[in-house]
Structure 1
Amino acid sequence: MARVDLVMADLSDKYDDVWTSVAPAFKRVYEREDSRMRTMLASFHERLNTLFAFMNEKNRVNKHYNAEDSRQLLDLIIEMDEARETLKSVGLDFTLVPTYQAVLDQCQEFLVRSGGSTIPDDFPIITVERYEPVFITTDSAMASRASTGKRFDLQLVGEGSYAVVHKFFDDEAGLWFARKKAKSGLTAKDLERFRNEYKVLKSLNFPYIVQAYRYDKAAECYTMEYCHSILDAFITKHNASLGFSTRKRIALQLLYALNHLHSKQILHRDISKRNILLKEYEHPAVMVKLSDFGLYKDPRSELTHTGSSMKGTIIDPTLGRFKDFDTLAEIYAIGHVLSFIFTGRKSINAAPEKIQAIISRCTHTDTRTKRYPSIGAVITDIDKLTPADWKPTKHRR
């Protein structure tokens, strides 16, 4: 028996009996995940939520987290770390979304095994996620098996200026993949940009950025994870029924992705509602996947220069030359997308007051320095929004 089969058999022995005790809500969240890890991840998520909810209660009451619960959370952290290390040995992996990982990092600073744990005064109330997965799986062994699509029935998904995207189903993996292929006749410079897009996606390992798997140089195409829809179509389709909490989660996931990019000194330079993909789970749960890095800028690389002529979808009117594109220009585009997420309208002046204040600060044109200085600053204000700040209007389109 191959090593991967032995590892997965051990996981089955350990977690399969747990499946019947996992609440249906968590089973639904992970029903599209790899069947080999579905039970384990659903169990981890449910236990984390239970422990986090009790921590919120104790944070509000007396700042004392009980000893038994402290031990349970510490043991769960160890259990998750051990599971991840075991899976990585056979080319499998999972990551925890940034919001939950940040909580665990903070918890490990004050949790103790005996006598209970004192919750710090500045420890925030945890946002407990019940409707979307907090674990994201990566199967590198499976990804390497998913070829460029030559063996599979390709179905057209979309087409852009430089590439065509198809989807295909891999029976062995039991999953859909996307294949992005450079169009014939591209200039050498554009083809190099296409290859660089793959390289940057391959180098990024983040839940809210689309994952690239394998490049086929002979066919000039690469495989990546398949996403069900784009932001533009999803919001348009569901705008009448989409609630505040889902819109806020979409906005924050997009901002987390951009914050991660900017922390690596990378600018996307083409943020738009058509370059943001969504993986759909049971409605209305979705996960943002930022895509289309053809115009990205890495100041550490000479290969990402795109000249002075203006490019991209949402153009900052205060930007004189495209090569001068900076964080403030990215934030301008973000303002337009945030407006669409919260209103479903093309106008950037249609949001309720507090949301409109955020959008207006992102898109300020009289004085660029009045814009948010960083993505992190935008996240802070979006995170503060409550349902009372968003009042859906009649006949919204």
Structure 2
Amino acid sequence: MEKYVKLQKIGEGSFGKAILVKSAEDGRQYVIKEINISRMSNKEREESRREVAVLANMKHPNIVQYRESFEENGSLYIVMDYCEGGDLFKRINAQKGILFQEDQILDWFVQICLALKHVHDRKILHRDIKSQNIFLTKDGTIQLGDFGIARVLNSTVELARTCIGTPYYLSPEICENKPYNNKSDIWALGCVLYEMCTLKHAFEAGNMKNLVLKIISGSFPPVSLHYSFDLRCLLSQLFKRNPRDRPSVNSILEKGFIAKRIEKFLSPQNACMTKYSSENTDVDSTITTRRTHYLLQKNFV
């Protein structure tokens, strides 16, 4: 830890502490997750180290960047980039009841989907997608973080069986203690989209039992007609009770009204491949969708 100067504690949870630090080498601010592994079993220690391995392989503009990790005095330290804009949960609460514009919601949603595509393409479940794990950088870019309970799948059809995650975002299959796969992340994605549209949780109750019953029923208060039919229809698809009926993240990104927003979030080298579209404001949505499909297939986004 001699390379870093502690500034303040910015979070604490079952995993340990999150500390804002300043690097003595480059003067930049970072977040360090400090996890006490001294009292852990060998299995738990390996699980903590697994998070590091998962994070180290995540290199994407919409995923919080891992920098390094080290073990010292019985603790595991994970160094991550610091997102000065805070998390999406706080941003939602700051609205004080004033709904976001649809353009803003879709720009954020597309970036979350691009991050989730990167995760799912690598046969990984995030398993804790929620507004508190989605961060904003200084320039407003969305970054998905906290892979503390992520799980690498041996194959895309393997189903995880551990009941885990944050209660408001649990899928029906997890509530019913059934096997689940990446479609549970899609349900949680729907919960985040609903939160951005209403500034409230889709499923709320005074206790866990009633919350579970609400989630299993799949009924939620409707979103304002202020938002487009496309957006409201997408939300209903993300909240399909049967996971097989929910779209994959790739099929979400190929929807016309989503696809046309992707290019603004591509890296410069990928954006130049599709530059002609920005020079023609009347590009047919079918062409846009085909181009997006090509980029998705080539793993450019």
TM band (smaller chain): 0.5 to 0.7
Q: 1:375 pairs with 249, 255, 259, which one?
A: 249
**Amino acid of the residue matched to residue 376 of structure 1?**
N
Does the aligned pair in 2 maintain the 1:230–1:276 contact within 8 Å? yes
Which residue of 1 is the match for residue 132 of structure 2? Answer: 274
Equivalences, count: 229
TM-fit CA distance, 1:325: 2.2
**Per-residue CA distance 1:276-313 (angstroms, 9 max, x = gap):** 122132xxxx1111111122121239xxx997441111
- Aligned in 2, Cα 1:190/1:175: closer, same or farther, shift over 3 Å? same
1:235 aligns with 2:111: no
Superposition pairs of residues 117-196 of structure 1, within 5 angstroms:
148=1, 151-170=4-23, 172-183=25-36, 185-196=39-50
Task: Report the Cα distance in structure 2 between the residues aligned to 1:179 and 1:306, rounded to whole angstroms.
Answer: 31
**Per-residue CA distance 1:73-129 (angstroms, 9 max, x = gap):** xxxxxxxxxxxxxxxxxxxxxxxxxxxxxxxxxxxxxxxxxxxxxxxxxxxxxxxxx
Task: Report the Cα distance in structure 2 between the residues aligned to 1:179 and 1:235, rounded to whole angstroms.
Answer: 25
Which residue of 2 is the match for residue 343 of structure 1? Answer: 198
Task: Report the Cα distance in structure 2 between the residues aligned to 1:207 and 1:174, rounded to whole angstroms.
Answer: 22
- Aligned in 2, Cα 1:385/1:355: closer, same or farther, shift over 3 Å? farther
3-state SS of paired residue (1:195): helix
- Aligned in 2, Cα 1:298/1:151: closer, same or farther, shift over 3 Å? closer
Two-structure CA RMSD over aligned residues (Å): 2.7
Does the aligned pair in 2 maintain the 1:162–1:186 contact within 8 Å? no
Structure 2 unaligned regions, length at least 5:
203-219, 262-301
Structure 1 unaligned regions, length at least 5:
1-147, 387-397
- Aligned in 2, Cα 1:151/1:315: closer, same or farther, shift over 3 Å? closer
Task: Report the Cα distance in structure 1 between the residues aligned to 2:93 and 2:2, rounded to whole angstroms.
Answer: 31
TM-score (norm 1): 0.53
**Amino acid of the residue matched to residue 238 of structure 2?**
C
Q: What's the % identity of the aligned pairs?
A: 24
Task: Report the Cα distance in structure 2 between the residues aligned to 1:277 and 1:193, rounded to whole angstroms.
Answer: 24
Does the aligned pair in 1 maintain the 2:197–2:223 contact within 8 Å? no
**Amino acid of the residue matched to residue 255 of structure 1?**
C
Moved over 6 A (4+): none
Does the aligned pair in 1 maintain the 2:6–2:19 contact within 8 Å? no
- Aligned in 2, Cα 1:359/1:149: closer, same or farther, shift over 3 Å? farther
**Amino acid of the residue matched to residue 246 of structure 2?**
R
Higher relative contact order (CA 8 A, sep 6+): 2
1:220 aligns with 2:94: no
**Amino acid of the residue matched to residue 170 of structure 2?**
I
1:299 aligns with 2:299: no
TM-fit CA distance, 1:187: 3.9
Superposition pairs of residues 47-86 of structure 1, within 5 angstroms:
none
3-state SS of paired residue (1:311): coil
Instruction: Choose 1 or 2 for highest CA Rg.
Output: 1
Which stretch shifts more, 227-236 or 240-249? 240-249
Task: Report the Cα distance in structure 2 between the residues aligned to 1:201 and 1:149, rounded to whole angstroms.
Answer: 23
Does the aligned pair in 2 maintain the 1:156–1:165 contact within 8 Å? yes
Does the aligned pair in 1 maintain the 2:112–2:144 contact within 8 Å? yes
TM-fit CA distance, 1:379: 2.0
TM-score (norm 2): 0.68
Task: Report the Cα distance in structure 1 between the residues aligned to 2:128 and 2:18, rounded to whole angstroms.
Answer: 18
- Aligned in 2, Cα 1:290/1:217: closer, same or farther, shift over 3 Å? same
Which residue of 1 is the match for residue 142 of structure 2? Answer: 288
